[in-house]
Amino acid sequence: DTEVTQTPKHLVMGMTNKKSLKCEQHMGHRAMYWYKQKAKKPPELMFVYSYEKLSINESVPSRFSPECPNSSLLNLHLHALQPEDSALYLCASSQEWGPQETQYFGPGTRLLVL
Amino acid sequence: AQKITQTQPGMFVQEKEAVTLDCTYDTSDPSYGLFWYKQPSSGEMIFLIYQGSYDQQNATEGRYSLNFQKARKSANLVISASQLGDSAMYFCAMREGVYNFNKFYFGSGTKLNVKP
């Protein structure tokens, strides 16, 4: 079962709100990822967690705060976002790292910041 | 230089015909993996097929095959017998090296439209 789930599917928030995106996988994968994707563009890597520890932060603004409570869950906490942060946010996971490791993506959360 | 290049922003194909989506890559690392993903308008990135740099044979998965030409650094996706449900954006991606979490590069994508 190669399934990654994400909630919510859609989110509308104001610039002063605090919200969280959630991602879950039950494939026993040890690496999890957050991507941001603008319309008609490829996904851009934001964060990578390996064995529940933050491995990569691609210079993402501090208004995005990732959290990995356990090996199956990945959260992205949002605070004081800007309208330009409106995008599709994709979560992915992979068994390990290395060139042969396939990343499996969730359905994404479409975020609109007003 | 771009790591992954997809030169076809959009393509049309007649239903039931085969179509080739182009992808070239650039790396000096001998160990790398090449991936193709499909993204329908719903947004989910669906993994289609994988080719490793040391694989001797071209990868195949059902109607999908990957035409891997290592010397030319190309990894074209071939979809046989196109179906209406194949209409989507297709991304080529590469992962290079070992223990490099962030080295997963995407191309700009090709929008495929299948005509009835």
pLDDT for A55 = 84
pLDDT for A76 = 98
The residue among B1, B52, B60, B39 whose CA lies nearest residue A106 is B39
Q: What is the pLDDT of residues A26-67, one digit of tens each?
A: 899 999 999 999 999 999 999 999 889 998 888 899 999 999
User: Is A105 in contact with B96 (Cβ distance < 8 A)?
Assistant: no
Look-up: residue for tokens 């603004």? A61
- Distance (Å) from the C-alpha of residue B111 to the closest C-alpha of chain A? 9
User: Is B43 in contact with A55 (Cβ distance < 8 A)?
Assistant: no
pLDDT for A58 = 81
Q: Residue-wise pLDDT tens for chain B (116 aa)?
A: 789 999 999 999 999 999 999 999 999 989 899 999 999 999 999 999 999 999 999 999 999 999 999 999 999 999 999 999 999 999 999 988 766 665 689 999 999 999 99
- Distance (Å) from the C-alpha of residue B15 to the closest C-alpha of chain A? 24
A110 touches chain B (CB under 8 A): yes
Per the CB < 8 A criterion, the answer to whether B6 and B107 are in contact is yes
Residues of A in contact with B109 (CB under 8 A): 40-42
